[in-house]
Structures are given as C-alpha cells and as structure tokens.
Structure 1
Amino acid sequence: MKKILSLTVLIFSMSFCFSQEQIIVNDVPMIKYELLEKKIQEEKEVLLVLNFWSTTCAPCVKELPDFMEVNEKYKDNPKFKMLLVSLDRPKDKDRVVQFIKNKKLNAEVVLLDDIKRMNTWIPRFEKNWDGNIPVTIIYKNSEKVHFNDGEMRKTELENIITKNL
C-alpha cells in the first residue's frame, strides 16, 4: 500500500505526465534569461531548435502546427531537440498551459519570465533581432547556425534540420 501511495504522490507531483505518446502539461517552468542561456550551452552534440513565440501572436500560433509535425518526425533522434520559449506574461501562465493542452504541443515549453530585461537579452541571442516574434534560432553543438526572423515554413525548417543533423 505504501508503494502505491508513494507512486501516486510521485505522479501527481510531476510537471509533465506522459500518456499514449502525448504530453499532458500540468505546469510550465518560468525561467530567466541566464537559465535559458545555460540550457542552450548544455545541449552539446544536439541540434536545438529554439522558437520564441506567444499565445497572442497570430504568426506564432499559425506556425506551431508545422513545428509540432517536425518535432514529431525527429523526436526519437537523440541529436535533435526542440524548445518552445513562450514570451507571454507570467500572469498569463495558466493561459499558456491551457494553450499547450488545446493545441497538443509536443515539444518542451518554458515561459521566459524576463520581459523587463528584453533589451539586454535579445541582442545576446541575435544582434539584428528587433524583438518581434516569432523568431527561430537553431543551434548545433551550442553554436548558432541559423536565425529566422518571422514565421518559418515547415519545408524551410526541415531543410535546415536535415542539413545540420
């Protein structure tokens, strides 16, 4: 009985639960820029697709289904990872969680809780980025190999991934 109770507590305390290969999100981590930068540096030997988006950005929402198809295609490749960075306000976190569930997003999502310092961290990602979204940055072995300002088509994303994997 103790084992069953411990397992139940563990399951309910997890941020992400996996069921039938679909991610059911109960929470989205809120992070600062420094932690995101550290996550990028830790992804050695991986092609990391980093997408900055928001639930209120129409082009962002439009491109996400294509990104999810691409993520589904490459998710079993140990040299590939997709990370969606929400720029929604921290007070809208519940809306982000609901959006992830409704749209069945299958990639890891974080909420970047660092809007007040945008002028500091945006140029650290890309000096030519003026702050608009969506923006996709692709890293190979923690080094930037591609920057896309604006909506990205599925074929373009797949071509860059194929070229760099």
Structure 2
Amino acid sequence: MRKIALIVFVFFCACQVRAQQVEVVKFDRLQNVIDSKTDKIQVINFWATWCAPCVKELPLFEKLNADKKDVKVTLINLDFADKEKKVELFLSKKKMTTEVLLLDEIDYNTWIDKVDQSWGGAIPATLIINPKNGKRKFIERELQEGELQKLLAEVE
C-alpha cells in the first residue's frame, strides 16, 4: 500500500512540475509586449478564469498558437496577482501551453486606454497588431470559430 501511495505522490509532483508557470507582471511589461518590434503578428487576449465567454474562446487562441508560427499569442489574465496558483491550476487542467501573463494592476482606469482608446473595459477583449505595417484591430467581445483568421487577414 505504501508503494502505491509513493507512486501516486511522485506522479502528482511530476505533474505539478510540468504545469505552466504564470508570470505576474505590471503594465510596463504588457506595454513591451504591445510595442514589440517583431516579425510576428501579435495577438493579445485579455481574459479571466471567472469570465465564461473568455474561457469559451480560449481554445481558439490555443489552436492559433499551435498552428501559426508567424503569430505570437499572449494571454493576459486579469484574475489579480493573488490568484496566481488558481490560474496555474486552471491552465494545467485545460492543458494550455500558450504564454499567460497575470496582470497585477488593479486600477484598470490607469491602463485600459493605453491598450486601446475604444476599450470600455469589458472582457474578453483581443488586440491584434501587425508590427510590420502598424495595422491594429481591437475587439471587445467573445470571438467565434474562424473569426481570428479573418481578423489576422485584415492586419496583414
């Protein structure tokens, strides 16, 4: 019985080690992502674990991240910094691999306009930027299947 308990414990620990680590960041780090001078189109999605439409659209971003190597997907979580372990557990449970940054900025009014002037603050919200030509798209609602590809084409 002890052998089985030890095996289960080791397996559990190994699974925890592989869980995605969430980096807690301030807005300046997010600003660096937005202003990045890369060859890749930037897709930045704002979401939270408690937001049902946000969670519903996450597989679209996971698929885009896996399929399009010329696109950089970054998921900005808004659960607050003290929820880091909760977010990591959520990502592990959903088997997500896309980069996630947990934004530690409680006063949204200080940074929302810096992301996009039209943003009213609702989530999910997605910012798509083509650094090569400067084209941008901002969407403040849940995206549907196939919509990301159309939006990417609009900024290419």
Q: Report the TM-score when normalising by structure 2.
A: 0.82
Once the two structures are superposed, residues 25-51 of structure 1 have per-residue CA deviations (whole angstroms, 9 ceiling, x without a partner) of 1x2111111111012222422200000
User: Gaps (5+ residues) in structure 1?
Assistant: 1-15, 18-23
User: Gaps (5+ residues) in structure 2?
Assistant: 1-16
Aligned ranges 1:1-165 → 2 under 5 Å? 24-25=19-20, 27-74=21-68, 77=69, 79-116=70-107, 118-141=108-131, 143=134, 145-165=136-156
Task: Specify whether residues 128 and 163 from structure 1 end up closer, same or farther in structure 2 by C-alpha distance, changes over 3 A only.
Answer: closer
Q: How far off its partner does 1:149 sit?
A: 0.6
Larger Rg: 2
- Paired letter, 1:100: L
How far, CA to CA, are the matches of 2:24 and 2:84 in structure 1? Answer: 9
**Are the counterparts in 2 of residues 137 and 144 from structure 1 also a CA contact under 8 Å?**
no
Q: How far off its partner does 1:144 sit?
A: 5.1
Q: C-alpha root-mean-square deviation of aligned residues, in Å?
A: 1.8
| SS of residue matched to 2:49 | coil
- Higher strand proportion (structure 1 or 2): 1
Task: Specify whether residues 144 and 125 from structure 1 end up closer, same or farther in structure 2 by C-alpha distance, changes over 3 A only.
Answer: farther
Partner of 1:21: none
How far, CA to CA, are the matches of 1:87 and 1:154 in structure 2? Answer: 23
- Paired letter, 1:34: D
Report sequence identity in percent: 35
How far, CA to CA, are the matches of 1:33 and 1:154 in structure 2? Answer: 30
How many corresponding residue pairs? Answer: 139
How far, CA to CA, are the matches of 1:144 and 1:34 in structure 2? Answer: 21
Q: How far off its partner does 1:159 sit?
A: 1.6
Q: Report the TM-score when normalising by structure 1.
A: 0.77
| SS of residue matched to 1:110 | strand
